[in-house]
């Protein structure tokens, strides 16, 4: 492709992206293709000769955001400062901007008192695996600190402790915590939650789980607390958890607490939610995905640690080919030591574009719209107690509901039929959850193009389908 062809293709792409967004409502909301549909449509192997752009372009029906276009244009690997100073430094700057916008405690800022800072990963799962790895090494270093460095004794003790390590998360925590434990080869134990505490993990439940594990000779070293669980957007009791863990905070038994706010973290941009961040000063790390609700295209997961040394000591490698005067003298940040891969994408450009083009106020207005629409749906559902019950009230743009029925079995069965019926139509795509044996429909309103008219239309469909269920003769 020469520069003239590129110019034409890129301009045409912009027209298409604009068209796509303007007409997004006319597309099916979820794909109706069958598994395996694609392979028969494609050649069995890659072409040997180049294809013209017109042929490739015909297969692309998907928009890419402008920042991705630029990022692709620069196409660097960006693993250390020397190969991409602008990429490295822009990331430090925008992560500080973002931390301030969410009112994270100052310990998470790059210039903060505990030498913390933020880094952009691809996904929350990657963020959780990475911080769990840092937590493991921090714990092992602390419990073997009294033994002579590089001794066989220390090595043996380290491996012995490794076999007893336990990572914890609530029953509502996202499966990525369990998966991280699986990858790292440590045990995973669930902290129970219940409906009386709105499915939040309490300090008392954490204290009990930790005491039980220690009584069995096991060593809990890590806990995921959630700000907005996947099932019902519950927020764990951060203050209660901080309090029960405070006796061992700062000792060798210190349990690393990571706050996973992958979805709901975007709502911290609203001042009314910012008091939630105060207890994070007692914890070790925090992540959220701007690509979920903060108008940033996939992928972009923002993660902060209270002390960057924890990440660097677990993940740093210094082969000769990566050496340079800036890194050797620790004058710069090398983000390769804050993540699993070596190379990295220019993701900060997306955040930089988003933060500047919407401004904090524009982002607040977007988040508030999603929150208000969730509340609007909840109010409508409450106007029909003959048909619906609210399972968990609107929070962070998520409402969960159930269809009325005589007993739990009937409620579960009716709710599931309504849910399946709506999804089969293809106009809306709802998700469901099963919490402590209760089936509920999840409705998420935090999507940019969703407006009150869509919420009204969904409600009308829910009324029609639930009405048919409830009206049926037994
Ligand atoms: C979506 C989500 C995740 C997983 O996110 P990925 O970035 O896809 O790994 C983890 N935790 C919570 C609370 C989520 O909502």
Averaged pLDDT in 10-residue chunks for the chain of 474 residues: 80 81 80 74 72 68 57 71 81 92 95 94 98 97 94 96 97 97 98 93 97 98 97 96 94 96 97 97 97 92 96 86 72 89 88 85 94 97 97 96 96 97 93 94 91 96 95 69
Enumerate residues 6+ apart whose C-beta is below 8 A from 342.
77, 79, 336
Whether 297 lines ligand 1, by a CB cut-off of 6 Å, is no
Predicted local confidence at residue 18, as pLDDT: 81
What CA–CA distance (Å, rounded) separates 471 from 474? Answer: 9
Distance from residue 196's CA to the centre of ligand 1 (Å): 25
What CA–CA distance (Å, rounded) separates 159 from 106? Answer: 36
CATH topology of domain 383-470: 3.90.1150
Whether 177 lines ligand 1, by a CB cut-off of 6 Å, is no
Predicted local confidence at residue 41, as pLDDT: 78
Q: Whose CA is nearest to atom 2 of ligand 1?
A: 262
Atom of ligand 1 nearest to the CA of 176: 10
What CA–CA distance (Å, rounded) separates 380 from 388? Answer: 10
Distance from residue 90's CA to the centre of ligand 1 (Å): 25
Pick the CATH number of 81-357 from 3.40.50.410, 3.40.50.2000, 3.40.640.10, 2.40.10.10: 3.40.640.10
Find, among 54, 55, 56, 63, the residue nearest to 27 by Cα: 63
Whether 289 lines ligand 1, by a CB cut-off of 6 Å, is yes
Spans of all domains in the chain = 81-357, 383-470
Are the C-beta atoms of 399 and 376 separated by less than 8 Å?
no
What CA–CA distance (Å, rounded) separates 440 from 424? Answer: 17
Whether 301 lines ligand 1, by a CB cut-off of 6 Å, is yes
Predicted local confidence at residue 57, as pLDDT: 65
What CA–CA distance (Å, rounded) separates 388 from 12? Answer: 48
What CA–CA distance (Å, rounded) separates 269 from 206? Answer: 28
Predicted local confidence at residue 59, as pLDDT: 60
Predicted local confidence at residue 62, as pLDDT: 58
Predicted local confidence at residue 373, as pLDDT: 97
Predicted local confidence at residue 212, as pLDDT: 98
Predicted local confidence at residue 63, as pLDDT: 36
Q: Whose CA is nearest to atom 4 of ligand 1?
A: 124
| Residue to substitute in 125, 294, 396 for testing ligand 1 pocket (most ligand atoms within 8 angstroms of CB) | 125
Distance from residue 123's CA to the centre of ligand 1 (Å): 7
**Nearest 5°: phi and psi at 153?**
-60, -45
Q: Whose CA is nearest to atom 14 of ligand 1?
A: 262
């Amino acid at each position: 492709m020469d520069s003239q062809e590129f110019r034409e293709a890129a301009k045409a792409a912009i027209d298409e992206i604009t068209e796509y967004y303007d007409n997004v409502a006319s597309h099916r909301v979820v794909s109706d293709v069958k598994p395996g549909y694609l392979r028969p449509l494609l050649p069995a192997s890659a072409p040997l000769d180049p294809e013209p752009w017109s042929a490739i372009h015909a297969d692309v029906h998907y928009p890419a955001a402008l920042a991705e276009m630029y990022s692709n244009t620069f196409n660097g690997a960006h693993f250390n400062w020397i190969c991409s100073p602008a990429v490295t430094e822009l990331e430090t700057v925008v992560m500080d901007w973002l931390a301030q916008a969410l009112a994270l405690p100052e310990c998470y800022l790059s210039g903060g008192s505990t030498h913390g800072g933020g880094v952009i990963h691809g996904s929350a799962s990657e963020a959780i695996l990475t911080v769990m790895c840092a937590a493991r090494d921090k714990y092992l270093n602390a419990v073997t600190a009294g033994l002579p460095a590089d001794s066989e004794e220390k090595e043996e003790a380290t491996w012995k402790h490794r076999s007893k390590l336990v990572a914890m998360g609530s029953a509502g925590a996202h499966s990525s915590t369990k998966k991280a434990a699986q990858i790292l080869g440590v045990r995973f134990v669930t902290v129970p939650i219940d409906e009386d505490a709105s499915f939040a993990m309490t300090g008392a439940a954490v204290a009990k789980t930790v005491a039980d594990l220690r009584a069995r000779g096991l060593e809990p070293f890590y806990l995921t607390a959630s700000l907005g669980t996947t099932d019902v957007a519950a927020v764990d009791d951060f203050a209660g958890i901080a309090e029960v863990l405070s006796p061992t905070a700062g000792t060798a038994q210190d349990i690393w607490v990571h706050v996973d706010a992958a979805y709901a973290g975007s709502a911290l941009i609203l001042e009314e939610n910012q008091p939630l961040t105060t207890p994070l000063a007692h914890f070790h790390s925090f992540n959220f995905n701007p690509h979920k609700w903060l108008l940033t295209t996939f992928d972009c997961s923002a993660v902060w640690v209270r002390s960057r040394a924890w990440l660097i000591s677990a993940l740093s490698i210094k082969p000769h080919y990566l050496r340079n005067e800036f890194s050797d003298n620790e004058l710069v940040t090398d983000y390769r030591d804050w993540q699993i891969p070596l190379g990295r994408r220019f993701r900060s450009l997306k955040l930089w574009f988003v933060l500047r083009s919407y401004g904090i106020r524009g982002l607040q207005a977007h988040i508030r719209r999603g929150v208000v629409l969730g509340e609007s749906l909840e109010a409508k559902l409450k106007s029909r107690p003959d048909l619906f019950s609210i399972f968990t009230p609107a929070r962070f743009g998520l409402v969960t509901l159930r269809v009325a029925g005589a007993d739990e079995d009937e409620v579960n069965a009716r709710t599931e039929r309504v849910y399946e019926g709506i999804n089969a139509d293809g106009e809306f795509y709802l998700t469901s959850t099963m919490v402590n044996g209760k089936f509920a429909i999840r409705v998420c309103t935090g999507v940019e193009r969703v407006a009150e008219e869509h919420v009204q239309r969904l409600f009308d469909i829910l009324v029609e389908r639930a009405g048919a269920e409830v009206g049926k003769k037994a």
